[in-house]
Structure 1
């Protein structure tokens, strides 16, 4: 069917290009008109000779007619000489049109051979769904995905921070069932990039809590598994995601990951309604909004919703000092002004740690800490941001830019 439509389009395009040229050639008719005139004059000369033989006209009248027709023949011959260049130009135009059509079709074939898939058979919707299901069933395991994932470069670790982590590990080893110690160890191992240790600690934390484990606990483990697998949601991560959504079906972070799972496995028809609802619900500064907004136009088209228009929700301005604070700062000493700025940075850090925030706010916190000369702590925040946004490449890129400018990442 595909090649049938291609052939039909070739014929239509060829006719569209050649028909005007053909009409111009026919309308010009230079050679046809000259030949027709000469033929008429020859017939008139033969008619004069017949009339003379039958005695219808005299010899003098016949001679007069011959001279008159002869002048017309000469005039027609002169006009034929003038019309011949126009006919040649018309023929050249016809040849040029044919060459242009040949180049156009040849270029199309070359481009399709280079960029297209000539051997690809028709793929009806049922077959696409079947292929997506097959890809879903054949996903690599967590172990296989981790083995294939690139090893991230975490940079150097501050010696004091490394010493504190060693103390934390020793404390957890003494009290391995302490939920608070396990939660801290899981978080800090993730920051350090020790994802295997972080996953082990998080799994044990969930086991210790038992039925009291929260959706956040499971989602934390999902994020670690995804990051360790290079961004892929493996069957093991999906199982944890299902547990989180069972505990909290309306979890925005869990629904975002569910939409990502469907998108990764060739089901944009399932991913689109999930992400559409999240985008419309907001809030606009939620960390999943930016990656959804970037991907949803293509996702909507693939899901059969080409007319979908994302809501035009303006991103809120990042928090900062109000007019009164700015006015008060003008009368402060340098030390007081630094204390005010440090308080604002601390307030932002506390809010991001407890409530989360947009990637722009994480980027701002990293930049502010570097300006304050706290590059080591900024590196810790960068490590935590990588965990938080592991399943959101577009959002992570915003934070990565700030970390790169601060010399914390490459």
Structure 2
């Protein structure tokens, strides 16, 4: 409640200051300038009289100059009256509109962009909250279970579907066949069955062990993320960590690591990682 009182008081203060500024208007500077102009013209008239008295200015020329200066004095005086009348106090309607726009607009903007009723959260608390979110987020199996089962695209030919079914049966009968699992991972990913593709690629990585290339391991992590609908699970994070331990500048791993940071409440760290990745 104290926040709303302070915010309303601040908006009211700004409204009062604007109303006072409008009430002053632009007449003061203009009026001052007009008075200065009139004084200059009067000094010029006095100078004309002195020139006539010294005999350096003929009477005919003096009359013409007096007429011109007098015309200018009248014009400047009239202009000063116009400015003063136009620079009067604003109407109550204008002041009311300003108050409504400032107060109502400020409240509406905060209601849209702010968090009414939500207490202040210090940076240290936000970091701790993000770390807790990261440690307690759902695992890979939970994320995959929440997604609908993948269906074969209808545009696949019957021949391709038959070959894919035969490949699945062959790999199931020979689970330690590295080449078969590689082909299965590629084809399952091609038809959008990312969970099966990730499982097959995971077998490839485990069967190869230390001989698995960085591309194969990073591809495994990417398939895990795709199988979870774009979510970076703790299991996918572990695979990404393994990739970065071998190749710290790996683009795929750094991209998905940044995605994990965004999902766990640390967009600041993700920005640094993605900014460096884009620059490189």
The TM-score with structure 2 as length reference comes to 0.68
Q: Of 118, 121, 124, which aligns to 2:119?
A: 121
Structure 1 portions without partners, runs of 5+: 28-86, 282-410
Corresponding residue number in structure 1 for 2:21: 20
**Is the Cα–Cα contact under 8 Å of residues 17 and 97 in structure 1 kept in the other structure?**
no
Q: Deviations over 1:28-69 (max 9, x none)?
A: xxxxxxxxxxxxxxxxxxxxxxxxxxxxxxxxxxxxxxxxxx
**Displacement of 1:220:** 1.8
Aligned residue number for residue 136 of structure 1: 134
CA change 1:7–1:184 in 2 (3 A) is same
Unaligned runs of 5+ in 2: 29-84
In structure 1, the residue matched to 2:93 is 96
State whether residues 144 and 195 of structure 2, in contact with CA within 8 Å, keep that contact through their aligned partners in structure 1: no
Secondary structure in structure 1 of the residue aligned to 2:121: coil
Cα distance in 1 for residues equivalent to 2:271 and 2:105:
37
- TM-score relative to the length of structure 1: 0.48
Deviation, 1:184, is: 0.6
Q: Cα distance 1:217–1:139, how it changes in 2: closer, same or farther (>3 A)?
A: same
Match of 1:167 in 2: 166
- Aligned pairs for 1:308-347 (under 5 A) are none
Report what 2:279 is aligned to.
280
Does the aligned pair in 2 maintain the 1:168–1:185 contact within 8 Å?
yes
Task: Give the corresponding residue for 2:207.
Answer: 208
1:238 aligns with 2:237: yes
Aligned position for 1:229: 228
Q: Distance in 2 between matches of 1:152 and 1:101?
A: 58
Cα deviation per residue 1:228-262 (whole Å; 9 max; x = unaligned)?
11101010111111122223222121112112221
Moved more, 205-214 or 170-179: 170-179
Aligned residues: 220
**Residues 250, 107 of structure 1: CA spacing in aligned structure 2 closer, same or farther, 3 A cutoff?**
closer
Once superposed, what is the RMSD of the aligned Cα atoms?
Answer: 3.0
1:73-105 per-position Cα deviation (integer Å, ceiling 9, x unaligned): xxxxxxxxxxxxxx9xx67x4411331133111
